[in-house]
């Protein structure tokens, strides 16, 4: 916790901790309650009631009371309505939670919201990326810190990405805290739960250290992905707005060019969750394997087409 505050320039700043009442977030709240005031900052806690279970209000109240028992006096319970827009209930709950946490942080002029993801969560994220055949950005896992949303002054910070889940559970036992066990964590309808159950098998069959190795791979791939993203942003600015000459694209490496396509699609309104590697590969073939093929449709009603030596983007509606 101290290292995170120092590295991100958060010492002496107002920060908030998001607490679900689970072992990870309770241990996070305990660490923050001990460290943040000693570093000259102020701490509040936010508990989100998703309303997805009959007793969700009681669970939220219990989490808030445990935060107060740790010495956090400013505790707020936030209620959200979760609406699944097609990406699944887990994604919908996450989006609703992050939105309400960001709103509360901006309203209270907090510098950051602390989230309780652990090294095990990071390993699960990398394993899911491998299972989906994702690229380097997905395999880079959960970022330790990022802006809550574009233009926001609030950081979402995960101080425990190097901490194993067993440590947060032991911390709660040592401090006499009573973590809530989310039944969704045992529901195999969620792919993340199935990945969580695979990790012990990998540890047993391939030897100890798999979780740490996957998390370490995420750190290394994040550096690579950041460098490629920066190269793609530079290339995008050099190209300007479409139409683009094919000659200006063939000079780019494939890894950079695919990121340029992604940047173009996102800036033009394609939903990020619907944009796949196959979409980007097909668009890239307009440069690498041009045989006079027709336009490529992208999510968000977008269409990329090549006419002669120019590649353009249009709305397909």
Q: Would you list which residues are annotated within the binding site?
A: 20-25
Report the run of H or E that residue 244 belongs to, with start and end: strand 244-245
Q: Give CA–CA dist 145/151, Å, rounded.
A: 15
- Ramachandran sector of residue 133 (left: φ over 0; alpha: ψ -120 to 50; beta: rest): left
Q: Give CA–CA dist 316/298, Å, rounded.
A: 9
- As annotated, the binding site for ATP includes 20-25
Q: Give CA–CA dist 237/260, Å, rounded.
A: 10
Among 47, 39, 45, 52, which Cα is nearest to 13's? 39
* Angle in degrees, 0-180, between the axes of helices 210-239 and 119-132, rounded to the nearest 10: 60
Sheet holding 302-307, edge to edge: 244-245, 310-315, 302-307, 296-298
Query: In this structure, are residues 45 and 110 in contact, taking their beta carbons and an 8 Å threshold?
Result: no
Query: In this structure, are residues 194 and 188 in contact, taking their beta carbons and an 8 Å threshold?
Result: yes
């Amino acid at each position: 916790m101290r290292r995170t505050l120092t590295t991100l320039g958060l010492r002496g700043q107002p920060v908030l901790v998001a607490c679900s009442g689970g072992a990870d977030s309770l241990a996070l709240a305990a660490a923050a309650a001990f460290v943040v005031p000693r570093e000259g900052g102020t701490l509040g806690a936010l508990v989100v009631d998703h309303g997805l279970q009959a007793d969700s209000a009681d669970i939220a109240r219990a989490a808030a009371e445990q935060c107060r028992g740790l010495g956090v006096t400013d505790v707020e319970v936030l209620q959200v309505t979760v609406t699944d827009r097609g990406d699944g209930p887990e994604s919908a709950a996450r989006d609703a939670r992050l939105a309400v946490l960001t709103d509360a942080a901006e309203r209270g002029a907090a510098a950051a919201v602390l989230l309780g993801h652990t090294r095990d969560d990071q390993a699960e994220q990398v394993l899911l990326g491998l299972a989906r055949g994702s690229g380097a950005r997905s395999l880079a896992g959960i970022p330790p810190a990022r802006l809550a949303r574009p233009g926001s002054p609030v950081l979402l910070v995960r101080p425990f990405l190097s901490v194993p889940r067993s440590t947060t559970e032991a911390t709660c036992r040592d401090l006499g805290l009573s973590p809530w066990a989310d039944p969704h964590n045992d529901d195999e309808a969620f792919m993340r739960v199935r990945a969580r159950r695979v990790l012990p098998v990998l540890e047993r069959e391939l030897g100890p250290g798999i979780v740490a190795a996957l998390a370490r791979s995420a750190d290394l791939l994040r550096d690579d992905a950041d460098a490629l993203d920066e190269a793609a942003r530079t290339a995008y600015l050099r190209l300007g707005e479409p139409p683009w000459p094919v000659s200006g694209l063939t000079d780019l490496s494939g890894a950079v060019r695919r990121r340029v396509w992604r940047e173009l699609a996102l800036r033009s309104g394609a939903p990020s969750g619907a944009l796949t590697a196959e979409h980007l590969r097909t668009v890239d073939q307009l440069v690498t394997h041009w045989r006079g093929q027709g336009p490529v449709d992208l999510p968000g009603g977008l269409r990329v087409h090549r006419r002669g030596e120019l590649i353009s983007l249009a709305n397909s509606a």
